[in-house]
Structure formats: structure tokens, C-alpha cells
Amino acid sequence: MTALLEARGVNKRFGAVVAAADIDIAIGAGERVSLIGSNGAGKTTFVNMITGYLKPDEGHIHFNGRDITPLAPRAITRLGVARSFQIPQLYGDLTVLDNMLVANACHDQRLSFWQPAHRGEAIDRADVLLERFRLADHRERRVAELPGGVRKLLDIAMALTAAPKLLLLDEPTSGVSAEEKFPMMETIMAALGHEAMTVLFVEHDMDIVERYASRVVAFYSGRIIADGPPGQALATDDVRRYVTGELLQE
């Protein structure tokens, strides 16, 4: 397997807290990887180190064959790493379409005062994504008026305007009702199916993990305690003890 993302000997501490301990992992193109672990296990720290918002104390992270450890978040985004947040980062007063266009403008290097164009092209790309995420009917609505689940879909669609190679999702269905979460994941996964991209998603809901991940990476105290296909990783004693709580902790 040629790795798209590779972390080697990555460590991160916050004072006495070990947030990442000897992280060694390689993730290939097209994988759908779920990052699981209890609160404070180190999932977000790992994601933040990939995006460059946090720097490891030790170790290196490679993306697409390049050492991205020293790069600033914007430079890493430009290489093809995109992220959506647990609480969507949207402009409530703007329409859905305008949010898409703002997201596009943030990474379109061709835009300038003299050449604000590509707008037609940007609108076409936005419309394709809105269709895929079942957001076309909301195109002209103000984002502040939309329900939470729709806003989450928009946040992910916005991340895709950059046509990333790696997409990082933070609990895509958190805050969404039990009835809505599977239809929402179906929409997300169908939309992502059109793009040849690797997806890492932080998830606490094991039903979602089992159904949508091709691989599970479990964290505890900053360490990776299991890594494999969902059926295998979720069945390990460490995951049952430290993540799902099916076994009592020693």
C-alpha cells in the first residue's frame, strides 16, 4: 500500500497530559477510517496535528509523500487536506450558495481584484456539490434559517469545494436525532463516493462506525490501542474496555 498519510513516532504532551504517544500509522488512498476513543483519548489532537494546527513534540507526519510537519495549516490545506467541524463554521446571514462560493474563494488562488471571475465555474462546481448533498432546494436560503443537520451537510460540502485528497470529519452526525443520523450518513457517503478521496472521521456512535468505516483506529491515553477492520477492532478487549465500556476497566 502506498500511504497517502503517514505518521511516524508522533508524540504530543500538554504539561503532564499525554495527548499522543508513539503514533505510528499509514493510511492509504480511498480508505474510510473511523477514529474512536473516549473523551480525551487523543482523537482531536491527532486530527489537529494532521491539519497543522498543532505541532508534534516529536515525530513526523507525511502527506502524499511530503513531510508536512513544519508546514502552516494553510499550506497543508493547499496540498489537499480539508476539514469539517463538529460545530459547522458557516456564515448565517449568507445563503447556502454564497457560503459555498466563500469557501471556494478561500482556496482559489486565481481570484484577484482584477479577475474576480471564475464565478461561473465556481457556481457550477457549487451546484454539483449541492445536488450531491441534497442541498439544492436550500440553495437560496439563509443559513441561519436551516436545521442543524442541513448545516452539517453544508459544512462538509464546503470542505469539498477544495477537491481535497484527504477529508477530516469531526462527528458528522453529532447533535442529529437518532432517526436522522443514518439517512444523513447515507447522503454523506453517497456524495463522497463520487470523489476519490480518503476520509478520516471522528465518531462516538459505534453503529455508524460499523456501517461506514472500512478501518477503525482506536485511541486511549494518546495511544493507538486497536487498528483494523471494524469487526476486528471493535471486538478487541482493549476497545471493549477503554472505548465502548463493555468490559470493566482494570
Ligand X SMILES: Nc1ncnc2c1ncn2[C@@H]1O[C@H](COP(=O)(O)OP(=O)(O)OP(=O)(O)O)[C@@H](O)[C@H]1O
Q: Site size for ligand X, by CB under 6 A?
A: 12
Question: In the window 6-45, what residues touch ligand X (CB under 6 A)?
Answer: 14, 17, 19, 37, 39-45
Among residue numbers 43 through 62, which ones bind ligand X (CB under 6 A)? 43-45
**Cβ of residue 223: shortest distance to ligand X, in angstroms?**
11
Q: What is the DSSP letter of 137?
A: G
DSSP 145: G
Q: Is 172 in the site for ligand X (CB under 6 A)?
A: no
Q: Which amino acid makes up residue 89?
A: Q
> In this complex, which beta carbon is closest to ligand X, that of residue 39 or of residue 112?
39
| Residue with smaller CB distance to ligand X, 104 or 173 | 173
CB of 175 to ligand X, least distance (A): 14
CB of 140 to ligand X, least distance (A): 35
Strand partners, 66: 63
Q: How far is the C-alpha of 83 from the C-alpha of 201, rounded, in Å?
A: 10
Instruction: Select 42 or 149, whichever has its Cβ closest to ligand X.
Output: 42
* 24: Cβ contacts below 8 Å, ≥ 6 apart: 7, 8, 9, 10, 224
Enter the C-alpha cell of residue 113: 481584484
**2 versus 39: smaller Cβ distance to ligand X:** 39
Q: Per CB under 6 A, which of residues 196..225 are in contact with ligand X?
A: 219
Cα–Cα distance, 98 to 44 (Å, whole number):
29
Kindly provide the b/e burial profile for residues 223-239, where b requires at least 16 CB atoms within 10 angstroms of the residue's own CB.
Answer: bbbbbeebeebbebeeb
DSSP state, residue 214: S
Q: Residue 221 Cβ, how far from ligand X at the closest point, in Å?
A: 9
Please report how close the Cβ of residue 20 comes to ligand X at its closest, in angstroms: 8
Give the whole-angstrom CA distance, residue 87 versus residue 12. Answer: 25
Nearest distance, CB of residue 12 and ligand X, angstroms? 8
**Residue pair 194/10 in contact by the 8 Å Cβ criterion:** no
Q: Residues in the site for ligand X, rule: CB under 6 A?
A: 14, 17, 19, 37, 39-45, 219
